[in-house]
Amino acid sequence: MEVDQTVSVSKGVFVFKNNFKPLTKLVKSKRKQKNVVNYQNTAFSSNAWYQSYSSLWQNIEEKIENLNNAMFSSVLSRLVNFVKSSHDFDVEEIPTAALLTGINMPDHAAQFKSLSNQIKESVTPHVACLHSQDCQNIKYLIENMIGQLVKEDESFSDEDSLSDSTRTHLKKSQLNLSVLQCWYENMYQEHSQTSPKKQKTKNKKILVIIISDFESFNAEVLQKFILIASCYIRVLPFVFIFGIATSISTLHTSLPYKVSSKICVKVFNSQRSTCYLNEILENVFFSTSCPFQMGGKVFNLFIDIFLFYDLSVNNFIQNIKYAMAEHFSYGNAMALCSFNKKETSAIIAEFSHEDLENVRHLLSFRKLVESETYENQIRLLTDDDYFANVLTEEIVKLQKYIRRLHIFLKCLLILVEDLPKAPLGQQLRDLYSVATAKNITNSPEYKECFKLLGFQSMEELSKKLSKILDYLEDKILFKHENKMKDFYEQLESFVDSMNNFNMAEMEEAVVEIENNEQVALKSLDRKQFKEKLFGMTKSQNQPLNRYEKLREKIITTLSQAFEEYLIEPKSFYFHEIFFFNNISIQSNIIGSHRSAIHNALNDPQYYLQCDCCTIPNSSVIKHTMPDICIAYKLHLECGKIINLYDWLQAFLSIVDPIEIDDETKRIVSPELQARFTQCVAELEYLGFIKSTKRKADHVARLTWGG
Amino acid sequence: MDQTLSLLHQTLPCRATQIDHLHNLFAYKDEPHPETVYIQGGPSTGKSIVVTTLLEKLELKHAILNLVECYTAKILFETILNKLSGHRMDPKNPVPYAKCENMMDFLQHLKNYSLEDDLTGSVIVLDKAEELRNMEFNLLPAFMRLKELSGIPISVILISELVFQKFLSKANIVDPMKIDFPQYNKDELLEILSMDIENARRIVENEYEHSIDFDLEFYKNYLNVFLSVFYRACRDLSELKYMSRINFVKYCQPIITGQNTVEDQMALWKNVAPTLKSSLAVLYLRIDTSNQTDQVVKHSVGSKETSAQSLELPFYAKYLLIAAYLASYNSAKDDKRLFMKFHGKKMKKLKDVKMKSKVSEQLNTQLGPKPFAFDRLLAIFYSILDEKVGFNNNLLVQVSSLVELRLLSSVSDNCFLDGQKYKCNVNFDFIQEISRTVRFNIRKYLSDFSHI
């Protein structure tokens, strides 16, 4: 494959197996990996944009995984402790942990995997994970479970130099609980012989059964399973872990008392998915490690999908991945999407003429050109070196801007998150989506927020300011950004002066005002009194006390800072390099099958990519199109009920156009009739028409419009 | 002989007549044992434990097995043979004593084994015998006449919670000897529960890491207090035992903290009364509330409303659920009136006037969910949603994930692709709570309420 061909791939679909996981057999995986490497070499792995994309994505994936582990760790350690201590004493009921996970099970697959790994490491090697699809009835469930437990032991004892000949593979039909019991007793018998009796009980390892999708299990199967397991609880120390998606009451609706009395449930809550999303956003995508930024529209689209459709963080991350791939595949210009100044300047230095042309194709470059003088315009367009310098400058500006954008958004969030009704929203993501779509400081919500801030009491305001200071402290001190430092010091002085405020002084000021009023309110006639009152309402906010003056000052300082840093990204040149705002990916992210089918039938060239079927507008029908498309397009022209004979005639006139002079009926060849009948049957299968009894030889349309 | 009997009476209190009866039947080796004994009684009335200990003490050869785990007849036969023959399986190659596919094989192997070893007087105990009704039809009659069929003097004890009349079928079954295990009364429960004193001591010691000294009288006093609250609600021994253990820890709390002494029974009772009342609400639920999250758990267990709140659903899924509820509890002919803006005027008929005075049994919301077609669900969904939303795959996935969460259930066959039918599984309180979170007035769209 030529390199040129693959540069413009934005419309194609490419499969990258960069996350390739080796199969169980080593040889196989080696061979395959080689294939993958070759494939990537021939494709575009050497292109700069792809390299920066893949390294960035790897980085992000790693961070997400770390974050996942950290977030799940508290629940995890509690669970592991529960499992550990569950059989310390003789139990009559099966100890059971119910983990409330939230409705998106695929998101939790990783959690359950790490849970089972952790239990294997620290508690017991005997862990079986059961999935509903493998456990249609009780027989399969038990065979599956015992298979996992016994097999685990085999790989476990592999190190104990057991030769293959001694191990015979167990047949599936042989696996039942009495086999498990004798296997278990056999394993721990030797221990008990060597060690004194007291240690025997400690040596016995717990059998952990993880059921990750409780809701999808057949309730009857589970009931039976629990009953069976409880018969063996004295010999086989079982522990259950249920992953429950909805709420704990499902446990009681699906298990009758005679079953639920056999288990002793302890409930573990895991995090809500919205919190999970916020964590992921704030720690991964809004951090300095991710230079790739989503524009307001795209970001809103993803958030909407999350909130309205699935609440799946996993899906959200995959959507971002898709957007990133789309973004970077624009060309080498996107290789500049990085926060490392040295790296970007090195990349620019290596840029060829084509690459720079690629950058020049960005839309915002036109704005840059237009803003320059005539001479510079020519230099920008023709002189590569000059252009490279300008580009470097602009990129540095953007890098600085994005970093500050996140910092100040966070500061703004601290200020506005607890305002009544929260006009700007309570989450960082709300602010981000506004700030990247438009100039946030011009928005009415922002103005309302600052109006509300103007009424804040001293304690609240100083609390917020010190919060901001805490946040800024670890963000800027080690960097030498003068403006930021000035801002920081200014805030610090405000907080100091607020803390040093003498309450008595303030009260004095208030009393003074009141005294003034009282003097003025002495004997007056009605009209004068009214005027006086009217005048007072006007002038009431004039005499400010010291705190109010200070507050005004603080707020103007803050809003100045925000106005300076929270500008919309569009105002920067080359913002496309960092911000991805192409909403057209919507159709790729949200699949809509109806329009896809309509598109395919109405304009087959869109999918077939053949030359013969190009049509100027959608109402044209060509005889080269597939039969079903012709029939479909003809049926769009009909009303509620379609006359089959007329339809056939119209079909024939397109497929086999013969001039017929008079009204004599033409003889339809059986081949054409068969083709037509097939089309009708296919359309009926797709649900566009159905047969009707209302009129003979007619079919009814099931869709509207044409 | 009398020694074992008195020992049995001691270890298993309150079951004297039953023990005497069984002892009479099985204790005398020179007398023939009955062919079948049918033991019936409610849950946790001591059926299995009495039979098991009796057989062990009498040193009879026996095989006890729970029919729940015998999901195929093969397992049932092979386990009986394994147990009678004392066969130990090698875990590397678990071969049973003999392979039995059906009753004939079983009888044959039983006869073969009886040549090796004397099976006279041995007993097969089938616990949870009601499972036999769902197994092969010939099992029950064959086990009832095992002595006759095998020609070996072997007896079968069936233990079940059902009365024997429930087993009657076309097959001619001889009525077996029946022993009834009645429910314990309050005094008997007290006596049995007070045997748990050692456990109670240990639990208290575990909980507070230092033991308190109390005698049986103290514990019986506690149980009296405990039973006075719980006896009305629950007679089940195992549940009572479980609850008594949990609450005893709280009963002893003031003693540990030093507020009260062991003698202060009145004060202790006053202290524990509210705890007992609140734990009555979680009776039978078996949720361990001994950690810090117990507030949350109690809430989510206690009331349906909070469970609706704690359920996280995407916005459209909530609306889909509401639409499903409306489709389930409204009749389709009311749809036009409820969901269309200009539905025209309806002529008032006598029937409608009668509808207004519907009694509660005729309310749709009381009659249970009715199945509805997928198209109707979507039509209602689009009419109750204010904003326009495209029809796409993510929306469709929501429906199937609602089915997976058991909030909807699919009532048509899966192979029937066209026009799937569903039912809504949630109740009115739940859906009201859900619609409150999206600010939707569900009463307005229910024909039951909109008539009124």
Parse chain A into domains and list their residue ranges: 86-158+170-271, 440-517+543-565, 593-701
Is the ipTM value over 0.95, yes or no? no
A691 touches chain B (CB under 8 A): no
Shortest Cα distance from A679 to chain B (angstroms)? 19
Chain B residues within an 8 Å CB radius of A228: 66, 68-69
Q: Which two tokens stand for residue B19?
A: 């023990």
| Integer Cα distance of A419 and A399 in angstroms | 31
Q: Does B391 touch chain A (CB under 8 A)?
A: yes
A583 CB within 8 Å of a chain B CB: no
Q: Which amino acid is at B312?
A: E
Q: Is A247 on the interface with B (CB under 8 A)?
A: yes
Residue of B nearest to A309 (CA): B314
Helix/strand/coil (H, E, C) string of B200-239? HHHHHHHHHCCCCCCCHHHHHHHHHHHHHHHCCCCCCHHH
B308-450: CATH architecture: Orthogonal Bundle (1.10)
CA distance B311 to chain A (A): 6
- A705 at the B interface (CB within 8 A)? no
Q: Which helix (DSSP H) or strand (DSSP E) does residue A259 occupy?
A: helix A257-260
Pairing of the two strands A641-643 and A293-294: unpaired
Q: Which of A102, A183, A261 sits opposite B286 (nearest CB)?
A: A261
Verify whether the Cβ–Cβ distance A248 to B300 is below 8 Å. Answer: yes
Chain A nearest CA to B391, separation (Å): 7
Question: CA torsion, points A379, A383, A385, A386, in degrees to nearest 10?
Answer: 0
The token pair that represents A603 in the structure block: 């304009």
**If you classify domain A86-158+170-271 with CATH, what class do you get?**
alpha beta
B351 CB-contact burial (10 Å; exposed 0-12 / middle 13-18 / buried 19+): exposed
Nearest Cα of chain B lies from the Cα of A276 at a distance, in angstroms, of: 13
Q: Which of A189, A215, A307, A309 to mutate to test the interface with B (most CBs of B within 10 A)?
A: A309
Handedness of CA B139, B143, B145, B150 (dihedral sign): positive
Q: Is A642 helix (H, G, I), strand (E, B) or coil?
A: strand
Inter-chain touch A182–B72, beta carbons under 8 Å: no
- What letter represents residue A197's amino acid? K
What are the structure tokens assigned to A413, written together?
């969030």
B368 interfaces chain A, CB cutoff of 8 Å: no
Residues of chain B numbered 216-275 and touching chain A (CB < 8 Å) = 236, 238-239, 242
Contact residues, chain B, for A593 at CB < 8 Å: 392-393
Q: What is the CATH number of domain B2-181?
A: 3.40.50.300
Nearest CA in chain B to A244: B405
Token pair of B334 as six digits: 């009311």
Q: How far is A291 from chain B (nearest CA, A)?
A: 29
Q: How many residues would you count in chain B?
A: 452
Contact A594 B391 (CB under 8 A): yes
Nearest to A252 among B236, B285, B311 (CB): B285
* One-letter amino acid for residue B6 of the chain: S
Query: What distance in Å separates the CA atoms of residue B84 and residue B155, rounded to the nearest whole number?
Result: 13
What confidence score (pLDDT) does residue A674 get? 94
| Tokens found for residue A306 | 């999350």
Nearest to A227 among B68, B301, B404 (CB): B68
How many Å separate Cα A590 from the centre of its chain? 13
For residue B368, the model assigns a pLDDT of 79
Interface of A with B in 482-521 (CB under 8 A): none
Nearest CA in chain B to A172: B94
DSSP per residue, A553-614: HHHHHHHHHHHHH---GGGSTTGGGTEE--GGGHHHHS--HHHHHHHHHH-THHHH--STT-
User: A306 to chain B: which residues are within 8 Å by CB?
Assistant: 314
CB-based contact, B171 to chain A, within 8 Å: no
Q: What's the average pLDDT block by block, 10 residues per block, for chain A (706 residues)?
A: 43 48 42 47 70 87 86 84 80 85 74 86 86 87 87 53 46 77 78 44 76 87 90 87 84 84 83 84 84 87 88 88 88 82 84 84 84 84 85 87 86 84 83 85 86 82 84 68 76 80 55 52 68 67 67 85 84 86 83 84 86 81 88 89 90 79 69 92 89 88 74
- Among A142, A179, A254, whose Cβ lies nearest the Cβ of B89? A179
Q: Identify the burial level of A528 via C-beta atoms within 10 angstroms of its C-beta, where 0-12 means exposed, 13-18 middle and 19 or more buried.
A: exposed
Tally of CA atoms within 13 A in the half-sphere of A366 that contains its CB: 3
Angle at B230 between CA B224 and CA B233, to 5 degrees: 150
User: Taking CA A694 as the corner, what is the angle to CA A690 and CA A699, rounded to the nearest 5 degrees?
Assistant: 30
User: Positive or negative CA dihedral for B253, B254, B257, B261?
Assistant: negative
Is A178 near chain B, with CB under 8 Å? yes
Cα–Cα distances (Å) from A38 to A10, A21, A23, in that order, read 22, 16, 18
What pLDDT, on the 0 to 100 scale, is given for residue A347? Answer: 84
Query: Is A699 exposed, middle or buried (CB count within 10 Å of its CB: 0-12, 13-18, 19+)?
Result: buried
A250 Cβ under 8 Å from any chain B Cβ:
yes
- C-alpha–C-alpha distance, residues B24 and B14, integer Å: 17
Instruction: Pick the residue of A83, A100, A145, A246 with the most B CBs within 10 A to test the interface with B by mutation.
Output: A246
Give the distance from residue A237's alpha carbon to the nearest chain B alpha carbon, in angstroms. 17
Q: Where are the domains of chain B?
A: 2-181, 186-302, 308-450
Indicate yes or no: CB of A246 within 8 angstroms of CB of B405: yes
Are A590 and B68 within 8 A, CB to CB? Answer: no
The chain A residue lying nearest B319, using CA atoms, is A308
Are the CB atoms for A493 and A465 separated by under 8 Å?
A: no
Query: What pLDDT was estimated at residue B319?
Result: 92
In terms of Cα–Cα distance, which of A536, A632, A572, A564 is closest to A398? A572
Chain A to chain B Cβ contacts (< 8 Å): 146
- B4 contacts chain A (CB < 8 A): no
Q: Which residues, including other chains, have CB under 8 Å from residue A181's CB and lie 6 or more apart?
A: A232, A235, A236
Q: What distance in Å separates residue A152's CA from the closest CA in chain B?
A: 14
Stretch (H or E) spanning A211: strand A207-211
Give the integer Cα–Cα distance in Å for B413 and B392: 24
- Note whether A141 contacts B: Cβ–Cβ < 8 A: no
Question: Which residue numbers in chain B have pLDDT < 70?
Answer: 1, 91, 170-172, 288-309, 343-362, 415-418, 450-452
Identity of the residue in A215, A308, A593 whose CB atom sits nearest the CB atom of B393: A593
- Mutation pick from B286, B306, B433 vs chain A, by most beta carbons of A within 10 Å, is B286
Reduced 3-state DSSP string for A115-164? HHHHHHHHCCCCEEEECHHHCCCHHHHHHHHHHHHHHHHHHHHHHHCCCH
- Distance between CA atoms of residues A622 and A637, nearest Å: 15
Task: Give residue for tokens 């198209």.
Answer: B375
| Residue A653: closest CA among A618, A684, A621 | A621
Q: Using the Cα atoms of residue B359, residue B363, residue B368 and residue B372 in order, give the sign of their dihedral.
A: positive
Among chain A residues, the shortest Cα distance to B311 is held by A246
Q: Does A260 touch chain B (CB under 8 A)?
A: yes
- Residue in A with minimal Cα distance to B202: A89
| Closest approach of A693 to chain B, Cα-based (Å) | 20
In this complex, do B94 and A103 lie within 8 Å of one another by their Cβ atoms?
no
Distance (Å, whole) CA B234 – CA B240: 7
- Could you give the CA distance from residue A127 to residue A113 in angstroms, rounded to a whole number? 11
Those residues with Cβ within 8 angstroms of residue A419's Cβ, 6 or more apart along the chain or in another chain: A449, A452, A453
By the 8 A CB rule, do A246 and B407 touch? yes
